[in-house]
Amino acid sequence: MSVDTLNHSVLDLGAEPVRAVNRTLQAASGGAFTIRNPNGAHALACGLDAPVDITIAGHVGYYCAGMNKHASVTVEGNAGTGLAENIMSGTVRVTGDASQSAGATGHGGLVVIEGDASARCGISMKGVDIVVGGSVGHMSAFMAQSGTLAVLGDAGEALGDSIYEARLYVRGSVAGLGADCVEKGMRAEHVAELQALLTRAGYGDVDAATFRRYGSARQLYHFKVDNVGAY
């Protein structure tokens, strides 16, 4: 590890293994770090529990910034499967694209993907806010329970399949809605909520009124004897 400026350290994955880099990050109580030569490393910057500011200069593999709490992590490149899985708080940003299951099971915080996100973005989200600058793949927000998914581009098939109470906003086209997901009205409160989220994510110049809102039809909440043959 080297130090460029006061409280700004440089970690080089070309010289240190992922485990050592993660130990350094997890032990920090603050400050800023730049990680060089990530070269698609898996499970990088996971389990953070302090307000540290981390910049990863390059592409990362699976489960980057998983279980994040308080930290701000920026990936200057693309991310593999499971970006920011189970995020609790803080911010995770990817300047490129993200593979499947980005933000899965997230309980809080903000995930921003400036490019496209693959299938199942926001699967089983439980309070996280996710903003995608491009498009998302099929079954995004599958079984979403709480939180917000905002997509500036298009959405693939089965958006919001088996959704509970999360709010989904899509600016582009939607290839198809999943079970119990329906389009809903875009009232003033939703425009204000979305505009605030877009501003937090760095898209404050995008008009929230140009999005459509989707959510739960609430038909899967209760057992219905007429459907007993399907169980």
Q: Report yes or no on 214 lying in a domain.
A: no
Segment 162-187 mean pLDDT:
97
Contact of 24 with 4, CB cutoff 8 Å: no
Range of the domain at 61: 2-206
Q: Report yes or no on 215 lying in a domain.
A: no
- pLDDT tens sequence across 185-203: 999 999 999 999 999 999 9
Q: Report yes or no on 220 lying in a domain.
A: no
Domain count, the chain: 1
Mean pLDDT over the full length of the chain: 95
CATH of the domain at 15: 2.160.20.60
What's the predicted TM-score (pTM) here?
Answer: 0.93
Segment 92-97 mean pLDDT:
98
Q: Report yes or no on 157 lying in a domain.
A: yes
Segment 66-83 mean pLDDT:
98
Q: How much of the chain is helix, strand and coil, in % rounded to 5? A: 15, 30, 55
Q: Which residue has the higher pLDDT, 209 or 227?
A: 209
